[in-house]
Structures are given as C-alpha cells and as structure tokens.
Amino acid sequence: MGKSLKILYVASECYPYAKETGVADVAAALPIALRELGHDIRVIIPKYGCVSERKTKIHDINRLRDIEVDMGNGHSEILIAKSTAIATSKIRVQCYVVTNGRYFENYKGIYHEPTKWTEYPDNLERFMFFSRATLETCIMLGWYPDIIHCNDWQTALIPAYIHYLYPHKFRKTKSVLTIHNISSQGEYPLTDFKTLCLPEDAKDSFTHKKKLNILKGGILYANQVTTVSPSYLEQITKDKDLTNGLNTLLKLNENRIEGIANGIDTAQWNPAFDEFLPHKLSDDVIEFKTLNKKVLCKHCSLQFKEDLPVMGMVTRIDTQKGVDVLVDAMNDLMALDFQLIILGQGDAELKTKLLQCQKKYPKKLSVKLEFNDELSHLIEAGSDMYLMPSRQEGCGLNLLYSMAYGSVPIVNLTGGIKDNAVPMLKEYKDGDNSVAMKSLTPKDLVAAVKRTIEAYHDKEVWYRLIENAINGDYGWQKSALKYDEVYRKTSKDTE
C-alpha cells in the first residue's frame, strides 16, 4: 500500500467535542478509518465554550503554551491541548485542541448564537485565527504533515497561507479541501480582505461577485479538492444557483476534484451496540423497532400504538433541509394516520412555526428544539420511517443512519441522496430501501408520506424495505481507501 503518510485533519467541529453539522461526524469517523490503514493522522479543532474538558479528557501540552498568532492588527495567544476522545476499542486518534478565550471559549455555539440562531459577526476573524493557529501548532511541534486536509470554508484559508506565509516551512506539505456544503462559502465584504494577512496579488482568487469568498480561494489554492459524494460533485459542477455561480470554477478545475462518498462510524452508529439505546438489535428487527418505539413515544409525550407508524426527523431547521416545505404541508400531513417527531435547532422563524404546529396537533406532533445525541439515536431506532425533504444534501448522513437502524427513509432525490437511496416506485422491486418525493413541494411531500404509510401496512413489502435498508454497507472502509489514493496522488507518493 505504500509508506505511512503524516496527515493533519483540520475541522471546525468534531464529535464528541462539538457538533452543529455533519462535518463533526466525518471528522470523528474518517480519521479512525485512515488510522486503521496505518497513517499517522491527527485532528485539530477549536475549543468552544460548549466543549466539556471532563468528557473529552482534554489535557494541556506544557510546551505548547502562549503561542503567538499574528492577526495582522496585533498578536493573539493560543494554548494547545490534546485529547484522544476520537477512538474505538482498538484505535485512538490524537486530537489537538486550540484554546483561546477571545475567539472560541467565550462562544457557546460554533457558528451561531444558540438561542437566536444568528451567525456570529466575527466568524471570519475567528476561523482565520484558527487557520493560522493550525499552522503555528505544526511549527511548534516540529511536525510537518505530508497532507493537511481542510474542510469547508472555515479552514479554506490554510492552502493560501501555506503558499504565501509559510512556503519554506511547509514546502513538502500538500493540501486537500473537502466541500461538505457548497451553500456556505464564507462570503464577506471585499474590504475585509485586508484582515486576512495575504498579499494584494491573492485578492482576485478570493473575489467572487464583488465579495470576499473564502471557499473560492480555498478551491484555487488547494492541491486537491473533494466533495462528500459523486452525485453531489456532479450536481455542484452544473447548478449555478446552488453554488452561487462557483460551478464554473469547479468545472474548470474538475481534473483535481473528486467525489468520495461519506460513510458512518459503525462503532458509534451500530444498533446492536449503541450505548444510547434502551433496547439493542439482536436477531428480531421488528422487536427492536417496537421496543424502542415505545420508549420514544413516552419520551415525546405521544401515545404508543403498535400499528400506528411513527416518523422521525433529526435535522438542522432551515430551508436547505426543506423544513419550510414541511411546515406548508403540515395541515395535510396531520390528516394522515401517523405521528411525527422532529429534533433539531436552527432558524428562529421556522422554529416558531413548528411550535405552532405542535400546539395545533399535540397528539400527533412532537417538536424538540435542541441538540440531543441520545434522543437522535432513539429517534433513528424507534421511528418506523424517516423524513428528509432536503433541497440539497452533500451526502445525507442521516439517510445512512436511518437505514442502518431500519427506519425507512422518505427523501427528496438530491445530491448525495442519489448514491444510497433506491426508491420504491409504484410497486416494490428487489433492492428498494426508501420512498422518494417526485419533487420538493408540499403536495409531493404529502403524497410520498401517504405512499410510505400504505407500504407500512403491507407487512411483506415493509419487511423487505427494512431488510434492504438495514443490510447495506455504510462504513468508511471503501471511502477511506479512496482518500488514501487521493493523498498519495497529491503527495506524489508512488510507492
């Protein structure tokens, strides 16, 4: 397979430290899979105010105290701690934790203020600081990776910083940038370019539609770009609206962009061993679903009825996830014979509308506006079906979680959803594992739910859908090998 590579995986969130999006799940699972391949892979993340030092066993590194980071308008100090909370029973991945009160520890959220769900106004400065701190940490350690793997716009300044600010220190280091969510590009007023500590000749690379665009610059300066599924790559190289016009740039650089499907952490997301579940999966899938469904209904103040289907939804509450379409369809949905449980955080206006719906339909709808790991696992295990009316999905990790737990997905076929969902059409055929909407409208959402409920009451069809879903291969092994190939190609290791 070739020699072991030194890889630094840079992420603005990572489970179990802090999580807002699917980036956190990938940052926890992919490094383990790459460590199993023999690579010296380490992770670096910020330490937000919500990070528990006790739970994640964070310890200071004495020789990495009071490191100064040049912010252009002055210096700010960091302390680097370490932790090994990214682990399985056999594998542990070292994680460096960037500690700074001004930019991270004083913030209870990651990108948003948790209550009002407004973006922090200084996010650009915060993640510019994190990007600089990442490279300074490598210098202080005397550890220069073969590959620095960046994720989304929050770390997309790193390739340019390597090129302009640290060309000699990192002369053998190559960069990989993964796009998880093309809609989030780090757009700011162009006047903010002067705060980035980059020379004027880099300005055009970060300029898009007369705005500063961090993701654009990351795409141009990274040695290799990946997306989180082949179908998502195909979509974002064609769709002008979805990409804010960056599709042209992606198309021009397609020779160094690859779509690699995400997997799931089969240690954390395994219904047979899941520590969050009151009832684990053994041989009887239906018993597993029924027992957890009872607990789920009780927890969500809904009456359990064995033959009444429960639909789950764990989501970021915003228009990208189609929650606005769900709200518009709610009256017609609630006329159908099922119960709906929604868990998530997000847009304040949509949250208010969901609470109004819950007040109107208290016996059929339960809305939990929070981040709750334990409940998210219970929803996957206890729900009969799982709703994903997303406008876009890079990969759709919740699709994989629901199928692994035997919850039949109802999806809008967009992006990475296409790579794993095999939707039942008018009649069941071998291999079907889901139900798809014809289009993302309230009418088609209701029609898809109605067809799923009908399938639920045809036990022979339903058991086959569950069996196909739960027996899929959703682990990281195959995708980790593809990343291995990308790293070796990028670092020009031909051994």
> Are 426 and 452 part of one and the same domain?
yes
> Are 38 and 59 part of one and the same domain?
yes
> Are 74 and 158 part of one and the same domain?
yes
Range name among 103-117, 181-195, 246-260 with the lowest pLDDT average? 103-117
Residue 493 has pLDDT above 50, yes or no: no
Residue 330 has pLDDT above 80, yes or no: yes
> Are 314 and 391 part of one and the same domain?
yes
**CA nearest neighbour of 232 among 416, 385, 441, 491:** 416
| Spatial strand order in the sheet of 211-213 | 187-189, 211-213, 207-208
Residue 294 has pLDDT above 90, yes or no: yes
Q: Rounded to an integer, what distance in angstroms lies between the CA atom of residue 59 and that of residue 422?
A: 46
Residue 149: what pLDDT? 98
Length of the chain counted residue by residue: 495
Q: Rounded to an integer, what distance in angstroms lies between the CA atom of residue 168 and that of residue 165?
A: 9
Q: Rounded to an integer, what distance in angstroms lies between the CA atom of residue 37 and that of residue 71?
A: 37
Largest CA distance in the chain: 68
> Are 249 and 295 part of one and the same domain?
no
Structural domain contains residue 271: no
Count of Cβ atoms closer than 10 Å to residue 201 Cβ: 8
> Are 324 and 408 part of one and the same domain?
yes
Average pLDDT, the chain: 94
Residue 70: what pLDDT? 77
Residue 494 has pLDDT above 50, yes or no: no
Residue 219 has pLDDT above 90, yes or no: yes
Omega before 16 cis (within 30°)? yes
Structural domain contains residue 421: yes
Residue 65: what pLDDT? 77
Residue 472: what pLDDT? 93
> Are 227 and 178 part of one and the same domain?
yes
> Are 258 and 293 part of one and the same domain?
no
Structural domain contains residue 268: no
**CA nearest neighbour of 130 among 163, 105, 167:** 105
pLDDT greater at residue 87 or residue 97:
97
Structural domain contains residue 304: yes
Estimate the crossing angle of helix 285-299 against helix 373-382, to 10 degrees.
Answer: 130
> Are 307 and 390 part of one and the same domain?
yes
Q: What's 439's domain CATH number?
A: 3.40.50.2000
Structural domain contains residue 272: no
> Are 450 and 303 part of one and the same domain?
yes
Domain holding 54, by residue range, is 6-263+476-491
Residue 1: what pLDDT? 60
How many domains, in total, are found in the chain? 2
Structural domain contains residue 47: yes
Range name among 100-104, 128-132, 210-214 with the lowest pLDDT average? 100-104
Q: Rounded to an integer, what distance in angstroms lies between the CA atom of residue 391 and that of residue 411?
A: 10
Q: Rounded to an integer, what distance in angstroms lies between the CA atom of residue 368 and that of residue 313?
A: 10
Q: Region 203-210: what's the mean pLDDT?
A: 98
Structural domain contains residue 275: no
